[in-house]
């Protein structure tokens, strides 16, 4: 897991709009709230996404952008954005390389069964590409408010 003060690994992923997006696109321009979530259109992930949506203006006024990352496809992200009227970018990480680079991919357990998946984690990255805050084991409910308090 990356920690505060580490240089955030750059990446290039496809967005819900079918465009390539990289962390370096925001270098020198705005802080980045990079949040990793397991799956589009599931209860917790929808709650978390809608919380970022509902607080978008305050986030923008703090000169920050939100980028959500999951292994879902571009098409799935596009549908999720449209269904929930999301006002920020979702990125597709189908081979979970970016999640692994950030330490947001690991062993999980459900009903006693172990499997590998996204560890719900959020990174706040400054304009110079340095990690300024890490939220691990994120609880979806109210997470956007928690993030805004440190912007």
> 65 and 126 in contact (C-beta within 8 Å)?
no
Tell me which residues are annotated as active site. Answer: 45
């Amino acid at each position: 897991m990356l920690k505060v003060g580490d240089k955030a690994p750059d990446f290039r992923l496809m967005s819900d709009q079918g465009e390539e997006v990289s962390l370096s696109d925001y270098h020198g321009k705005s802080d980045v709230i990079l949040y990793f979530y397991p799956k589009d259109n599931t209860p917790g992930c929808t709650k978390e996404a809608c919380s970022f949506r509902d607080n978008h203006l305050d986030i923008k006024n703090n000169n920050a952008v939100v980028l959500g990352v999951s292994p879902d496809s571009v098409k799935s992200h596009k549908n999720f954005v449209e269904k929930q009227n999301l006002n920020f970018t979702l990125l597709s990480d189908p081979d979970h390389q970016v999640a692994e680079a950030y330490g947001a991919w690991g062993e999980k357990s459900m009903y006693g069964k172990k499997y590998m998946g996204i560890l719900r984690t959020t990174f706040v990255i400054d304009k110079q590409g340095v990690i300024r805050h890490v939220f691990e084991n994120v609880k979806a409910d109210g997470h956007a408010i928690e993030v805004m308090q440190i912007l």
